[in-house]
Amino acid sequence: MSRRVLLTAGGLTLLAGCSAGPVQRIVGAAQTRPVPTRKPAATRSAPAGGRGSSRPAGRHHADNDGEPMFYVDDGPKVIALTIDDGPSPVYTPQVLRLLARYQVTATFSMIGIEVTENPGVARDVAAAGHLISNHTWRHLNLPLLSKPAVIDEMDRATTAIHDATGITPHMFRAPFGAWSPTVLRHCAQAGMTPLDWSVDPRDWARPGVPAIVSNIMHHTRTGSIILEHDGGGDRSETVAALKIVIPRLLHAGYQFATP
């Protein structure tokens, strides 16, 4: 699946993709928006790390204005791991086994058509206690679509996830991190919190395991939402990097939460 999209607006051609990270995102066809600089405050002493340091789901931290979440705010050294573009019959089970080994809970942003093709894998994610987020039906760039098409992409994915798992997702992640007023408005109408990220190791580009590990360890801070992928291509580097990163983060005292 291509991770780069050409946008044409007002005679200008822009190149966008999820590699852009949260520094600059598309809102509409010709607008960009900087990421808010707000970060959660760390006011208490850091908790001990190690296995079993995941926090349960249940606290959600959406901004009051309905803007996307870039950080979690569950206290010092609390972070979130998000895994996109599955479920995959090859890589999702590997990720699930790894998360179970370290008792870490993550958020899986699922593509509706992949859920329909792999409903058993989606059920395995839900049964393991992980959070499932809506990632649209086909992973299209939503600001380039008409309003009815945007709503259809979002609603079809919700239906597919519910049909497979019995869960109605309350989180939504836009493909490529591309938000628009229509997307945010429908999130509010559908009761879904828009979920973004603050750490992007570009694992989808397969830069090598050391590069993925270095990126995450260098950029992760209290409140970080880390972006990874279990679908959309060969994700063997992602799995190998997570085998290194998760124990390192736990050893550093981080706890994993769901948004």
Sequence-distant (6+) residues with CB within 8 A of 35 are 22, 23, 24, 25, 70, 196, 198
Burial (CB < 10 A; 0-12, 13-18, 19+), residue 178, is: buried
User: For residues 227 and 196, what is the distance between their CA atoms, to the nearest angstrom?
Assistant: 9
User: For residues 194 and 158, what is the distance between their CA atoms, to the nearest angstrom?
Assistant: 14
Judge whether 62 and 239 are in contact, CB under 8 Å: no
Q: Which of 84, 85, 196, 203 is catalytic?
A: 84
Sequence-distant (6+) residues with CB within 8 A of 118 are 86, 87, 88, 89, 92
Q: Which of 135, 203, 229, 230 is catalytic?
A: 229
- The question of whether 219 is a catalytic residue gets the answer no
- The question of whether 84 is a catalytic residue gets the answer yes
User: Which residues are catalytic, by number?
Assistant: 84, 229
